[in-house]
Amino acid sequence: MECPFDTKPRWERRKDARPHELLAAAIDLFVERGFASTRLEDVARRAGVSKGTLYLYFENKEELFKAVVRTSIVPVIGAAESSVAEFEGHSADLLRKVMQDWWERIGANKVSGIVKLVTAEAGNFPELAKFYQDEVINRGTRMISSMLERGIARNEFRQVNVTQMTQVLIAPMLMLVTWKHSIGPCERGELEPLAFLATFLDMALHGLLPATHVVAPAAV
Amino acid sequence: MECPFDTKPRWERRKDARPHELLAAAIDLFVERGFASTRLEDVARRAGVSKGTLYLYFENKEELFKAVVRTSIVPVIGAAESSVAEFEGHSADLLRKVMQDWWERIGANKVSGIVKLVTAEAGNFPELAKFYQDEVINRGTRMISSMLERGIARNEFRQVNVTQMTQVLIAPMLMLVTWKHSIGPCERGELEPLAFLATFLDMALHGLLPATHVVAPAAV
Amino acid sequence: MECPFDTKPRWERRKDARPHELLAAAIDLFVERGFASTRLEDVARRAGVSKGTLYLYFENKEELFKAVVRTSIVPVIGAAESSVAEFEGHSADLLRKVMQDWWERIGANKVSGIVKLVTAEAGNFPELAKFYQDEVINRGTRMISSMLERGIARNEFRQVNVTQMTQVLIAPMLMLVTWKHSIGPCERGELEPLAFLATFLDMALHGLLPATHVVAPAAV
Amino acid sequence: MECPFDTKPRWERRKDARPHELLAAAIDLFVERGFASTRLEDVARRAGVSKGTLYLYFENKEELFKAVVRTSIVPVIGAAESSVAEFEGHSADLLRKVMQDWWERIGANKVSGIVKLVTAEAGNFPELAKFYQDEVINRGTRMISSMLERGIARNEFRQVNVTQMTQVLIAPMLMLVTWKHSIGPCERGELEPLAFLATFLDMALHGLLPATHVVAPAAV
DNA sequence: AATGAATGAGCTTTCATTCAT
DNA sequence: TATGAATGAAAGCTCATTCAT
């Protein structure tokens, strides 16, 4: 006789869990092997389902990848947008907060591998590139720019070139991610990410804050 | 008098030119599509030869790639090593020179695509990763470290942590390359590479030069 | 009522039958063309499937070949081992039985082509050679030797050199197989295999049986 | 200053030697690797010439192989034919002589590899098969048959079935060759070829000689 | 909803043969 | 006569996607 509880067939109980399990498996493998080299069969196996099942939930490999981005990265941008919209303090502190959140939710996380993957393979998958551009880069860029504009409007930042400064702020994140997922693992002398970010922020704020501010140089 | 019919031979014998032509085609395609996605048939076609011809000059795809690295990147490292060995002036100027040379010969060049390719795909091709590690990363790292040690020995630099500072100096080059070959092309607001490098150098020298020194922001 | 249009599905799902069908196709083609010259696409086509399907069931060409050997030859050795272990009569009769079984299950059969193939190509495929050595030759040799030792122990055979006599007993089988799959088909005057085997057995028993025995020429 | 003798350019002096050198290289490689697996480039290299040169002397791979057979095997058949035509003694001695000559000039020699190669690959190269059939097998068969007929005509042999006995006489040679070039090298307990041939001859003569003859059994 | 067998285009590599030099 | 660069048809194997069950 079987246990009277939990008699529902497993697949039924799991109906809602499937997409999560598949996405979790997908993110792992995409991060490990990149987009082109990840085999859908492996994703399915890691999620404990068959290849066909994967196609019930995701139209194809690209849609699966988009879903991974949508669940792992886009929400972080949304949160950052909210931070910018709702923050009440000094813009320098807002900037610090946004960078710190990025580090916690992406940089230090497995998800950073997805960011690196896009920089690595976007060229070969134009549709993915476009999707990522629209959903992540443009929104992220806009968010950072709006943060700068807020600072300028409140006279907390100098009248810098917003577009260019936006790139400068993105750069260290991009670098950390590239480092972590390519050269980094081979190197002995680690690039200490938090110290690096701090240095970068100091440098950036040096260019952003009105002249009267004095910033102590950070230890790299 | 020429024959009025199309007398073009089925092929032309160009033993000496072939390797160059093939390497040129290979570098173009590797940069455009990456290692895995580059088809040897396309390389051959672009060089104006057949698939088989390529194999007369390069044992296989990996060897072709190594040859590309050997001809396009390794010599730049060699030149930098010589610079470090032979330079007579202040170590800060040496540092500037090395960075500038890098920018001219790699960063601003198509070759930068190869550097980016390696960061993108090394994980999937361990033998290539090892080759690049040995021939480029280790040598490059050693070269930069020796430059720092020279500065310290001559009391031109402070007693910094050489290993870590080496990474910091590599980082902006890595970033420029990543930027240029992934996000960059999609962006409107360009990251101005020379300005970026200059900023980085200033920041680095700020940490390197003895406290008494006053450094005017340098134009790279 | 059947649909009057051609409703044949693009493919049919025959999981259980496939391995057999593929092995049957493989054995035919291996026997016809040898190992190196057999194209997996042809094997697949003969089995009525596509190239890819073959790889669902066999990891690669060598594994396919091993599977052919395992299903067609190895069991015959197993059966012979059992015969030797269980036989109760005179060792000369056991020897006759084993040779006769070999003829029925291998020599007279298509499978003999596999034996010939191995002698023909083992030199070019060391891994296959090792496999066949382990699974067939060593086991077969041991089986024949044990048969001889049984005869000697029971005083039914003379104290011959077991190792050498084992080779002698293998030789005619090898010859028949070589003959059948190379010179034989071209020849008009057939080598009558059964008569040949009988002659050989008589000769061998002449050397094996104690002097006092008188053996009537046996019909195998 | 150079030696005044031997000033002719090497290629001129070698003009006549070329075919020999190529044939020698070809026989080595055909024996080592078989027909299909032997690369003409390797043959050329071993002969110390270029691939193109090989094609000056031999139309293609098959013609090269035919030439190998013509120089290494056909003459032995010719010699045997002469023996049969000119021999003056007892036919049994003629038979022994022919077998012994075969052993010395083919069986014990590298050339035996060519015989084995044909049994191994004839099926895949019909034109070679036909050539070998005409030049070697048919002539060889005829030669052996004529030897038997001579014996019968001179009342030195019984009235046996010539066709079948011819096959029986070919068989041990075929077996030795197969053994030597496939299973043999793997086996510990060597099949002693000369003893094996002697046994076979005794057995054959037992069937050939008139009843009054008494033949001592040979030690296998 | 779930499965996994089946497909076939695509890619790297090999080598007999040709032919410009 | 001699060379060896160039060709291109194969062949083994992979994997995203489809679809009968």
Nearest CA in chain B to A125: B33
**Residues B185 and B165: beta-carbon distance below 8 Å:** no
Is the confidence at residue A1, as pLDDT, over 80? no
Q: What mean pLDDT is predicted for residues A163-181?
A: 87
Is the confidence at residue A192, as pLDDT, over 90? no
3-state secondary structure string across chain D: CCCCCCCCCHHHHCCCHHHHHHHHHHHHHHHHHCCCCCCHHHHHHHHCCCHHHHHHHCCCHHHHHHHHHHHHCHHHHHHHHHHHHHCCCCHHHHHHHHHHHHHHHHHCCCCHHHHHHHHHHHHHCHHHHHHHHHHHHHHHHHHHHHHHHHHHHCCCCCCCCHHHHHHHHHHHHHHHHHHHHCCHHHCCCCCCHHHHHHHHHHHHHHHHCCCCCCCCCCCC
Element (H, E) at B155: none
Chain A residues lying within 8 Å of B168, measured CB to CB: 191, 196, 220
Residue C19 burial (CB count, 10 A) = 16
Q: How far does CA D146 lie from the centroid of its chain?
A: 19
Contact B119 A182 (CB under 8 A): yes
Query: Which nucleotide, over all strands, has the C1' atom closest to the CA of C54?
Result: E6
Place of tokens 């110290």: A195
Distance A186 CA to F12 C1' (A): 34
User: For the segment C21-55, what is each residue's pLDDT rounded down to a tens digit?
Assistant: 999 999 999 999 999 999 999 999 999 999 999 99
Q: Which candidate from B133, B186, B189 shows the least CB-CB separation from A164?
A: B189
**Looking at B104-118, B167-181, D184-198, which range is the least confident one?**
D184-198
Q: What mean pLDDT is predicted for residues C150-172?
A: 90
Residue A13 burial (CB count, 10 A) = 10
Nearest-CA distance from D189 to chain C in Å?
6
Degrees to nearest 5, angle at CA B47 with B41 and B51: 30
What's the one-letter identity of residue C107? Answer: G
Q: What is the rounded CA–CA span in Å between residue B83 and residue B105?
A: 14
Chain C residues lying within 8 Å of D171, measured CB to CB: 175, 179, 191, 196
Distance A51 CA to E2 C1' (A): 10
Contact A121 B34 (CB under 8 A): yes
Task: Tell me the percentage of chain C whose pLDDT exceeds 90.
Answer: 64
| Sequence-separated (6 or more) residues with CB below 8 Å from residue C93 | C87
User: For the segment D100-138, what is each residue's pLDDT rounded down to a tens digit?
Assistant: 999 999 999 999 999 999 999 998 999 999 999 999 999
Contact B189 A217 (CB under 8 A): no
Place of tokens 């036989």: C87
What's the one-letter identity of residue D104? Answer: E
Helices B61-72 & B74-86, crossing angle to 10 degrees?
30
Nearest CA in chain D to C137: D183
Q: What mean pLDDT is predicted for residues B171-177?
A: 87
In this complex, whether C and A touch, counting 3 or more CB pairs under 8 angstroms, is no
**Looking at A3-12, C135-144, D87-96, which range is the least confident one?**
A3-12
Which residue is nearest to the C1' sugar atom of F2, using CA?
D53
Neighbours of chain A (3+ CB pairs under 8 A): B
Q: What is the rounded CA–CA span in Å between residue A29 and residue A24?
A: 9
Query: Which nucleotide, over all strands, has the C1' atom closest to the CA of A61?
Result: F16
Nearest CA in chain B to A218: B207
Which residue is nearest to the C1' sugar atom of F14, using CA?
C52
Is the confidence at residue C200, as pLDDT, over 70? yes
**Looking at B31-40, C181-190, D75-84, D96-105, which range is the least confident one?**
C181-190
Nearest-CA distance from B136 to chain A in Å?
11
Task: Tell me the percentage of chain B whose pLDDT exceeds 90.
Answer: 62
Both tokens assigned to D81 = 């034919």
| Sequence-separated (6 or more) residues with CB below 8 Å from residue B216 | none
Is the confidence at residue A41, as pLDDT, over 80? yes
> Which carries the bigger pLDDT value, residue B14 or residue D151?
D151
Contact B164 A189 (CB under 8 A): yes
Q: Which residue pairs, CB below 8 angstroms and at least 24 apart, start in A204-208?
A: A204/A95, A204/A165, A204/A168, A204/A169, A205/A92, A205/A95, A207/A158, A207/A160, A207/A165, A208/A92, A208/A95, A208/A148, A208/A151, A208/A157, A208/A158, A208/A160, A208/A165
Nearest-CA distance from D178 to chain C in Å?
7
Neighbours of chain C (3+ CB pairs under 8 A): D
Q: What mean pLDDT is predicted for residues B64-90?
A: 95
By CB neighbour count within 10 A (0-12 exposed, 13-18 middle, 19+ buried), where does D112 fall? Answer: buried
C-alpha to C-alpha distances, D209 to D146, D190, D205, D213, nearest whole angstrom: 16, 31, 6, 6
Degrees to nearest 5, angle at CA D101 with D96 and D107: 110
Nearest-CA distance from D119 to chain C in Å?
5
Q: What is the mean pLDDT of chain B?
A: 87
Both tokens assigned to C145 = 């030797």
Distance C36 CA to E6 C1' (A): 26
Contact A178 B183 (CB under 8 A): no
**Residues B43 and B64: beta-carbon distance below 8 Å:** yes
Contact A163 B189 (CB under 8 A): yes
**Residues C165 and C91: beta-carbon distance below 8 Å:** no
C-alpha to C-alpha distances, A48 to A52, A66, A68, C88, D125, nearest whole angstrom: 12, 21, 18, 55, 51
Q: What is the mean pLDDT of chain D?
A: 86
User: For the segment D184-220, what is each residue's pLDDT rounded down to a tens digit?
Assistant: 776 665 678 888 888 788 878 888 888 654 444 444 3
Q: Which nucleotides of E are covered by protein (CB under 7 A)?
A: 1-21
**Residues B91 and B154: beta-carbon distance below 8 Å:** yes
Q: What mean pLDDT is predicted for residues A124-129?
A: 91
Q: What mean pLDDT is predicted for residues A9-21?
A: 63
Chain A residues lying within 8 Å of B188, measured CB to CB: 163
Listed residue (D38, D218, D181, D185) closest to D107, CA to CA = D181
Q: What is the rounded CA–CA span in Å between residue C146 and residue A170?
A: 78
Q: What is the rounded CA–CA span in Å between residue D54 and residue C54?
A: 40
The reported pLDDT for the residue numbered C74 is 96
Contact B191 A182 (CB under 8 A): no
Element (H, E) at A49: none
- The pLDDT confidence band at residue B213, using thresholds 50, 70 and 90, is very low
Helices A74-86 & A91-102, crossing angle to 10 degrees?
160
Q: Which nucleotides of F are covered by protein (CB under 7 A)?
A: 1-21
Q: Is the dihedral of CA B174, B177, B181, B187 positive or negative?
A: positive
- The pLDDT confidence band at residue D15, using thresholds 50, 70 and 90, is low
Q: How far does CA C1 lie from the centroid of its chain?
A: 48
Task: Tell me the percentage of chain B whose pLDDT exceeds 70.
Answer: 86
Distance C180 CA to E20 C1' (A): 48
**Looking at A114-123, B195-204, C82-91, D33-42, which range is the least confident one?**
B195-204
Is the confidence at residue D11, as pLDDT, over 70? no
Helices D74-86 & D139-153, crossing angle to 10 degrees?
10
Residues of A contacting chain B (CB within 8 angstroms): 32-34, 36-37, 118-124, 129, 133, 137, 141, 163-164, 166-168, 170-172, 174-175, 178-179, 181-183, 186-192, 196, 199, 203, 217, 220
Both tokens assigned to B202 = 């200033």
- The pLDDT confidence band at residue B214, using thresholds 50, 70 and 90, is very low
Is the confidence at residue B135, as pLDDT, over 80? yes
User: For the segment C98-122, what is each residue's pLDDT rounded down to a tens digit?
Assistant: 999 999 999 999 999 999 999 999 9
Q: What is the rounded CA–CA span in Å between residue A3 and residue B82?
A: 77
Neighbours of chain D (3+ CB pairs under 8 A): C
Is the confidence at residue C131, as pLDDT, over 50? yes
Both tokens assigned to C87 = 């036989």
Q: Which candidate from D37, D190, D196 shows the least CB-CB separation from C124?
A: D37
Q: Which candidate from A36, A172, A190 shows the least CB-CB separation from B37?
A: A36
The reported pLDDT for the residue numbered C167 is 83
- The pLDDT confidence band at residue B164, using thresholds 50, 70 and 90, is confident
Q: What is the mean pLDDT of chain C?
A: 87
Q: What mean pLDDT is predicted for residues A77-103?
A: 95
**Residues D106 and D140: beta-carbon distance below 8 Å:** no
Is the confidence at residue B77, as pLDDT, over 70? yes
- In the DSSP assignment, the letter for residue A205 is H
- In the DSSP assignment, the letter for residue B137 is I
CB hemisphere CA count around C205 (13 angstroms): 23
Which residue is nearest to the C1' sugar atom of E10, using CA?
B39
Q: What is the rounded CA–CA span in Å between residue C134 and residue C136?
A: 6
In this complex, whether B and A touch, counting 3 or more CB pairs under 8 angstroms, is yes
CA dihedral D126, D128, D132, D134 (to 10 degrees): 60
Which residue is nearest to the C1' sugar atom of F11, using CA?
C39
Query: Which nucleotide, over all strands, has the C1' atom closest to the CA of D35?
Result: E16
The reported pLDDT for the residue numbered D200 is 81
Buried b (16+ CB within 10 A) or exposed e, C79-114: ebbeebeebeeebbebbbbbbeebbebbbeeebbbb
Q: What mean pLDDT is predicted for residues A186-206?
A: 78
Q: What is the rounded CA–CA span in Å between residue B141 and residue A15?
A: 52
Q: What is the rounded CA–CA span in Å between residue B151 and residue B89?
A: 10
Q: What mean pLDDT is predicted for residues D126-155?
A: 94
